[in-house]
Amino acid sequence: QVADLGCADCSLLWMLKFCSCIEVLAGLDICANVMKEKMHTLSPLPVDYLQPSERSLTITLHHGSVAHKDPCMLGFDLVTCIELIEHLEESELKKFPEVVFGFMAPSIVVISTPNSEFNPLLPRVMLYRHPDHKFEWSQAQFQSWALETARCYDYSVEFTGVGHPPTGMEKVGFCTQIGVFVRKYPPTGESVQSEKPTEAVYKTVFKAVYPSLKDEKYLQNAVISEVIFTAQIIKHRLM
């Protein structure tokens, strides 16, 4: 089960839906219109009904803020936050760790954010890379925040990134810095339940349930189709 916070145009969710190990995908974004523009790409295709997969797959999109807790975001194994935190206001950023690491408490959290030390190497970048960015952190700033967050919520964290610097400028670091957080201990059911909101605060704007052979209806259709196909082959051989 994977949740993408700040899913925007759903491009990551679209790629993840082809991973056979994933059975539940969820996206969350503060801008419903951006999600709605591309959410049709997450719908099942005709071929998905003609040839149902052995796995089940449900994809859901929610409209809401990462600063708010909602029970629909519980139970995920992996949470991704790709280029998200730099869009948060200071008040939202303060609530973010408790929502993601304290409340959702997935096994793994992946957070990426621009590396401000790389900006001088990018043409036409004056202060920030995007007009909506509230801040952009240096390597030291991001790692300090990540290490403190990991310490508070019993996670380990390792750092990596994408976009290598030019030869001789290795100290600049990656263009985009990434923190991979891994939970040290399983969350206790009591602690999660005690913080669970009684009401949903997110609005569901999209849901798709893919046909699966785990569903008896689709399994029966697949078996019948296979029997008919095999019978036709036998018929042609005998004629």
List the alpha helices (DSSP H) in 76-215: 90-97, 139-152, 189-195
121 in Cβ contact with 172 (< 8 Å): yes
Give me the tens of pLDDT residue by residue for the chain, a chain 239 residues long.
Answer: 999 999 999 999 999 999 999 999 999 999 999 999 999 999 999 988 888 888 899 999 999 999 999 999 999 999 999 999 999 999 999 999 999 999 999 999 999 999 999 999 998 887 899 999 999 999 999 999 999 999 999 999 999 999 999 999 999 999 999 999 999 988 665 555 555 666 889 999 999 999 988 655 544 554 445 555 566 677 566 66
What count of Cα atoms within 13 Å lies in the side-chain half-sphere of residue 124?
A: 2
Coil vs helix vs strand at 111: strand
- pLDDT at res. 222: 44
pTM of the complete model: 0.85
Return phi, psi of residue 153, to 5°: -115, 20
3-state helix, strand, coil in the chain (%, to 5): 40, 25, 35
pLDDT at residue 236, rounded to an integer? 66
The domain spans of the chain are 2-214
Tell me which CATH homologous superfamily contains domain 2-214: Vaccinia Virus protein VP39 (3.40.50.150)
- Nearest to 117, CA basis, from 96, 142, 97: 142
Q: How far apart are CA 172 and CA 155, in angstroms?
A: 26
How far apart CA 221 and CA 54 sit, in angstroms, is: 13
Enumerate residues 6+ apart whose C-beta is below 8 A from 157.
146, 147, 149, 150, 179, 180, 181, 182
pLDDT of residue 219: 43
Smallest CA-to-CA distance from 223 within 108, 52, 55 is with 52
